[in-house]
Amino acid sequence: MRVLLLCMAGIAPAMAMTPNNEPIQPILPAQITDPAKVELGKQLFFDPRLSRSGFISCNSCHNLSMGGSDNLQTSIGHNWQQGPINSPTVLNSSLNVAQFWDGRAADLKEQAAGPIANPGEMAFTHTLAVDTLRSIPQYSEAFARVYGVQQITIDEVTDAIAEFEETLVTPFSRFDRWLLGDTQAMTEDELRGYQLFKDTGCVACHNGPAAGGNSFQKMGLVSAYETANPAEGVAGLTGQDADRFKFKVPTLRNVELTYPYFHDGAYWTLEEAVDVMARLQLGRQLGDEDIASITAFLKTLTGQQPSFALPILPPSNNATPRPKPFE
């Protein structure tokens, strides 16, 4: 009704949009209730001693200087192994319905256990990772303080990492400022892009606070997605043919920073990604102008990046197991 009235008053429709009942909601700032746990998790996130080589940390592939991703098609693992799938951003990942592209981890804590022990990623074992941390008195003391435990187990390690990751939200994007009522926060072209994003049907999957992350959908719904990547998505877990190429819908938050796109990282530009999605998922062939407007809208989803001091890690000592990068 408000939109109608403004239109009648001669104001352009795009400008007249008001942020009520939108399918995407603002990202809320992190509420930190246990700063010591977050700080411990941050140290662990940056600690390459959770890997066999002593060289790869969580931050290697979820680089918080670069949108929480590595900006590679697929990641580099132990011994320079080529990863099987694009590394998803850790930013706003607490909003995901489940973790990994195929959702095989229920939450961030379960996810954090994966790469440490994956022979193609950090190539360590939980036992060796925990042995390493136990040998370092500063870590033992921090875990005792935060968790009240005498001995560190993988359970506290992944819990602390998840607690840190939960703080990695990106509020205050221009889109969110618009959602919150700042009508000057977006340009007319960006608002037009948002309207197109909704009208074209993108919002059917990319909705909620993360503009995605809350459902699994088949990649190549209308037309097949051509890729050399063998990942089969959820079918790899369920064995069900109906789940082939079903992947978690990625968040579009900070999508300007999280190139290249899709589970295979095959597309480097947002324009290409918008075009492919419209054709393959929605059966729509968008013109260049519409693609440009949607791309302009997507860039308004870049939020305030987490800002914190680089953690200083407690040193190893004579009792700490040595890294094994080359054996």
Q: Say whether residue 105 binds a copy of itself (CB under 8 A).
A: no
Give the orientation angle of helix 137-147 with respect to helix 154-165, to 10 degrees.
70
DSSP 128-162: HHHHHHHT-HHHHHHHHHHH--SS--HHHHHHHHH
**Any idea what the Cα angle at residue 324 is, between residues 320 and 327, rounded to 5°?**
150
Selected binder of a copy of itself within 25, 63, 140, 195 (CB under 8 A): 63
Residue 258 in tokens: 């999280």
Of the residues 22, 39, 110, 121, only one is catalytic, namely 121
Q: How far is the CB of 263 from a copy of itself (least distance, A)?
A: 17
Q: Say whether residue 323 binds a copy of itself (CB under 8 A).
A: yes
Phi/psi class of residue 45: alpha, beta or left (left: φ > 0; alpha: ψ in -120 to 50)?
A: alpha
Q: How far is the CB of 18 from a copy of itself (least distance, A)?
A: 30
At 246, which helix (H) or strand (E)? strand 246-248
List the x/- string, 13-52, binding to a copy of itself by CB under 8 A. ---------------------------------xxx----
Residue 121 designated active-site? yes
> What per-residue string of b and e applies to 216-251 under the rule 16 or more CB within 10 Å gives b?
bbbbbbeeebeeebebbbbbeeeeeeebbbbbbbbb
Q: Is 167 helix (H, G, I), strand (E, B) or coil?
A: coil
Selected binder of a copy of itself within 10, 148, 287, 315 (CB under 8 A): 315
Question: What is the total count of residues that contact a copy of itself (CB under 8 A)?
Answer: 40
Half-sphere exposure of 68 (CA within 13 A, CB side): 26
Q: Mark the segment that binds a copy of itself (CB under 8 A) among 161-169, 177-185, 210-218, 310-318.
A: 310-318
Binding-site annotation: residue ranges for heme c: 58, 61-62, 78, 202, 205-206, 277
Binding residues for a copy of itself (CB under 8 A): 46-48, 53-55, 60, 63-67, 70-72, 76, 79-80, 82, 256-257, 259, 268-269, 271, 305, 307-313, 315-316, 318, 322-323, 325-326
Q: Would you name the residues annotated as active-site residues?
A: 121
